[in-house]
Amino acid sequence: MLRVSVGKIRFASPVTAKFDPLSRSCGTRGQALFEILVSLIVFITMLLAVIQMGLAAYSYHFISEAAREGARWATVRGSACTSFTTACPATAAQIQSYVTGLGYPGINSAASAMTVTASWCAPTGSTPPACSAGTNAPGQIVRVAIQYKFPVGIAFVPASTITMNATSQMVISQ
């Protein structure tokens, strides 16, 4: 009992209520635990979605880089090529083999996931040049197009794929 006296008047206040964080009213016993669980599920799902979109950006960066690498590789292996002992002049199958063999980590370069198409174009006044006719002679344009199917796997979302496309073209030098 706490007794306080002021002058002739005495106040008494019994300290009977104790702070107990575990005592809750009857209907809210597991509410905090449930709220934390739901919040964690939402947070982890969003975190995994952000990671998956980062992987998608990485994949898109790879296929655009692979298209540039394939076009560079083909430009120095034109019909007048004499400096390389193999793959000279380059064919569409050799360009496809080169690009799929780059082997970036985390990228599925199987034919079911990645399609590489090489074509040669005659330089024209139109932009982009029409690729109906062309050879791999110096001064012609080589175009490498890649289509990649990125598998999306986010928790609680149905599995699907995102189709990514990248194209690069360069003038054949040899």
CB 80 within 8 A of CB 174: yes
Q: In this prediction, what percent of the chain has a pLDDT beyond 90?
A: 27
> Edge-to-edge, what's the strand order for the sheet holding 160-171?
114-121, 141-152, 160-171
Answer whether residue 59 shows pLDDT above 80: yes
* pTM of structure: 0.70
pLDDT at site 106: 79
Q: Give the residues across from 165 on adjacent strands.
A: 147
For 62-66, 124-128, 133-137, which range has the lowest pLDDT when averaged over its residues? 124-128
CB 142 within 8 A of CB 170: yes
